[in-house]
Amino acid sequence: MERAHDAIGPAFEKLIADAEAELVARRSNSTPLTVATVPVRTVHANELSLEDFIENHALPGVPVVIQGLNVTPPDAPRWTLKHFVDVCGDVNVTLNKKGADTDNWGGLVTAGRLTLREFVASHATDDDRKRWYLHDWSLNRECPDVFGPPPYDRFLVPKYFAGDYFQRVPWVSYEHTWPSLFVGAANTSSALHTDSGATNFWMYLLSGAKRWRFWPRTTSFHLYLKPMSSHYRVDAFNLNLTERPLLADAPMWEVTQRPGDLVFVPSNAPHAVHNDEDTVGISMNYVDASNVWAYLHDAASSEQWEDFENFDVETNDFGLSRTQGDVTFGEWKSSRRAWEGKVRLYRAERERRGEASRGKRPAPGEKEEDLRFPVWLD
């Protein structure tokens, strides 16, 4: 791997230098370089169907802010930082902070370990712990009591993400990772990065304010991607076009997230986040019909053959339902059997149609649908 990196690095630097020279030649010297900012669509859940979300955001890779969602049912305890401390305050947590020179995910390094109660009591006032960040702490594994007793109905998975393939494919390492908890003081942040596994990502903000910057998945080169990594040679919140002129060819989405907002980050979209205030958020990474091919490509590229083979089309059930609604945590974790039934009906109907149209050629522009990896089952 090191040999490959050493070989690719100089060639990549030459490509960047050539692209920068072309950019300078293309633009007038009298015109200052700027970064084009594109507004992020903000929409109430009542106005956003699942089909709209998949077709206009998840598939093409366009972020969106969804408002009006609740992650806890009306009769369940409201999820707040105090509630997490009441339920799991004595559990030890690993804290992170932003590293000056690291290739770790999100530019974060380990800062220390405390109980959740100790961290919450001091993270907003202690000078050192103000820089510490509880990052992607798995509630499934570390704080399962927060979901309540069986049938585990104190958390709601929004319909947009209820079709998660990790809950259908057995033996995948990510199956029991999310949702997770993020807690950070004002001015903590993560560096520009893409999420591992080409997964989609969402975060629901319980309190505080987060500032997000995202770029299209096609602009990694313009963001000075470090070869063979998911990190970039760009400070997302201190853009310097004198040093990094290719940023001028990379339009940027920017939005400030408020309590009750859910931010969706598409797979392979470079993004960074800065906590403008003390924040508490819930997040989830997932794979569904919108990014399964990207996930499989990433698994093969990183030689994660076990995860790749687990997505066997002969033994798993893929596809989404336009009539999907929000589900409780317990329903979400036990949804495999329900999807088996939906896929069985879908395949039977497609085979019946195939028999009726056998021998007919597809109409001009019509594609033959892959029954193994459909987007929609209805």
216-242 pLDDT tens trace:
999 998 999 887 777 899 999 999 988
String of b and e for 124-134 (b: at least 16 CB within 10 Å)?
eeeeebbbbbb
List b or e across 220-243, with b for residues whose CB sees 16 or more CB atoms inside 10 angstroms: bebbbbeeeebbbebebeebeeee
pLDDT at 11: 79
Q: Which amino acid is at 31?
A: T
Task: Kindly indicate the confidence band of residue 10, based on its pLDDT and cuts at 50, 70 and 90.
Answer: confident
- The number of residues in the chain equals 378
pLDDT in tens, 339-378: 888 888 887 877 777 655 444 555 555 455 555 678 898 8
Helices (H), 27-112: 50-53, 81-88
32: pLDDT confidence band, cut at 50, 70 and 90? confident
Q: How far apart are CA 22 and CA 228, in angstroms?
A: 24
Report, as an integer, the average pLDDT of 99-117: 77
Task: For residue 21, name the pLDDT band (cuts at 50, 70, 90).
Answer: confident
Residue 140 has pLDDT above 80, yes or no: yes
* Residue 207, C-beta contacts closer than 8 angstroms, at least 6 positions apart: 80, 81, 259, 278, 279, 280
pLDDT at 71: 95
Look at the block and give the residue holding tokens 């893409």: 194
Provide mean pLDDT across the span 330-337: 90
How much is the pLDDT for 359? 46
Q: What is the pLDDT of residue 2?
A: 47
Percent of the chain with pLDDT over 90: 58
pLDDT at 114: 95
User: What are the structure tokens assigned to 110, written together?
Assistant: 């380990």
